[in-house]
Structure 1
């Protein structure tokens, strides 16, 4: 039963983070500055934005459950996820420009993304985002998986090293175009990459450490997973806060390209928040609509992420950028949510139909 609760808590946290993607992304693209800074929705979404990387910690925990996975299988999955990242870039950036007449003038002025500028088109196609981070991280972990699962404490050391090096190597390039692109994905300091491996890989590795700790004593998840999560969270939170108070510009910088103090502080917040999610989930009835919704989002995390981004940018092509008041932003959020869940439902129905058709075909040929 305890193991069951533990699995529910992990899916609960991931499902919540997935569900919060749409409010955050819609506010980023559609809300006016006044709506972002001076409304209840804007302030709430700013808090949600800081909590969204909890998904990375959950992903690391999930990696621990794949300890017996085939290495080649892990690497193939990593390459597939990386490919999905570029497919997503094509769908959300290139398709609206080529087939929908482009984005509104305000967005073109801010981004330079237009058909007459091939270099900007290529730049947006190659933009580094969450799928690139997840895929490359999985690839690197897959290469050293057996070593890492035998030496779980080294994961904390590697996480700390990545955090502390994040500002040291930030923006470092060699002046070789192809190589510099890879280095940008590793530790870029511009918005050609939103989630560089330094420092965000440290969040995944911390999750892997916690997942391996849990597997050593799965009968008591509170002691093996969530209590260490709380202690580490408090330690990282206090340390990160002190470092940011000492030198905010260096240790925090901007949210997407954090320094060591910002990374430690954010990780501390997320670990404590994860512990809170665990206790909230335990208090809820076994069968309830909230958990059911979160578990559904957790199960469909990849499809959800892809669909919501495509719908958001395709909607942007027919509306306006950074221009709407609170009621209009809430209406767009509702529309994107409805569209995402309808498409997920249609995808589920198609998969079920294909599976049933295949089963019937096997029966007839048996």
Structure 2
């Protein structure tokens, strides 16, 4: 039962973070500045935005259960996810330009993204976002996996090294266009990349460290996973806060390109929050609808992420940018949720039908 609670808590935490994507992304694009800063919804969503990377920690924890995973399989999956990142960029940025007449004027003025600006179209197609981060992280961890799992403390050291190097290497370029693009994905300090590998890989590695701790003692997840999670969370939270108070510009900078103190502080918040999720999930009835919803979102994290972004930008093409009050934003959030779950349902139905046909074909051939 304890082991089951542990697995449920991990999916519970990831599912919650997935479900919170839509409110965060909708407010970022549709809400007025007054709605973002002064409304109840805006203030709540700003808090949610800080908690969304918790699924990176879950990704690291899940890695610990893949000790016998095939390296080639991991690398192929990594390349697939990186490719999905560019498919997503094409669907959300380029398709509205080609098929829907482009984005509203306010967005074009802010982004310079229009059919008449091929350079900006290419720039947006090449944007580094979450899929690129996850794919590159998978690729690197896949190459070093056997080394990392030999000793969980190696993973903890790697976490701290990446965290502290984030500002040292931030923005480093060689002046060679193709190579500089790759370096930008690794440690860029501009908004051509939203989630550079440095420092965000450290969130995945701390998850791997905690997952390896759990693997050592699967009979007691409270002791092997969630207690260390709470202790590390408190230590990181306090240390990060002190570092940011000492030099905010260096240690925090901006949310997407954090320094060591900001990374440590945010990681501490997420680890403590994860521990809270664990205890909330334990108190809920086993077959409650909230947990079922979170588990469904957790299971479908990749298509959910892709579908909601596409629907948001396609909706933007027919509405306006940064223009709506709290009530209108809530209606858009509801609409995007309905659309995302509807599309996801039909996608899963098509995939299940295809799988059944393949099974029937295999059986008929035996």
TM-score above 0.5: yes
Name the Cα RMSD after superposition. 0.8
Q: What's the secondary structure of 1:199's corresponding residue?
A: helix
Aligned residues: 366
Structure 2 runs not aligned, ≥5 long: none
Structure 1's consecutive aligned runs of 4 or more residues displaced over 2 angstroms after TM superposition are 355-366
Task: Give the superposition deviation at 1:161.
Answer: 1.1
Task: Give the superposition deviation at 1:352.
Answer: 2.1
Q: Counterparts of 2:76 and 2:364 in 1: how far apart (Å)?
A: 33
Structure 1 runs not aligned, ≥5 long: none
Aligned equivalent of 2:325:
325
Aligned equivalent of 2:237:
237
Aligned equivalent of 1:61:
61
Per-residue CA distance 1:223-269 (angstroms, 9 max, x = gap): 00000000000000000000011111111100000011000000000
Aligned equivalent of 1:349:
349
Aligned equivalent of 1:77:
77
Q: What's the secondary structure of 1:28's corresponding residue?
A: helix
Q: What's the secondary structure of 2:149's corresponding residue?
A: helix
Aligned equivalent of 1:213:
213
Q: What's the secondary structure of 2:223's corresponding residue?
A: helix
Aligned equivalent of 1:261:
261
TM-score, normalization by structure 1: 0.99
Aligned equivalent of 2:288:
288
Q: Counterparts of 1:313 and 1:350 in 2: how far apart (Å)?
A: 24
Aligned equivalent of 2:224:
224
Task: Give the superposition deviation at 1:138.
Answer: 0.4
Aligned equivalent of 1:39:
39
What aligned pairs does 1:151-230 form with structure 2 within 5 A after superposition?
Answer: 151-230=151-230
Q: Counterparts of 1:210 and 1:133 in 2: how far apart (Å)?
A: 20
Q: Counterparts of 1:116 and 1:239 in 2: how far apart (Å)?
A: 48
Q: Counterparts of 2:248 and 2:120 in 1: how far apart (Å)?
A: 32
Q: Counterparts of 2:90 and 2:68 in 1: how far apart (Å)?
A: 35
Per-residue CA distance 1:53-103 (angstroms, 9 max, x = gap): 101000000111111100100000000000000000000000001111000
1:132 is aligned to 2:129: no
TM-score, normalization by structure 2: 0.99
What aligned pairs does 1:136-151 form with structure 2 within 5 A after superposition?
Answer: 136-151=136-151
Task: Give the superposition deviation at 1:361.
Answer: 3.2
Aligned equivalent of 1:16:
16
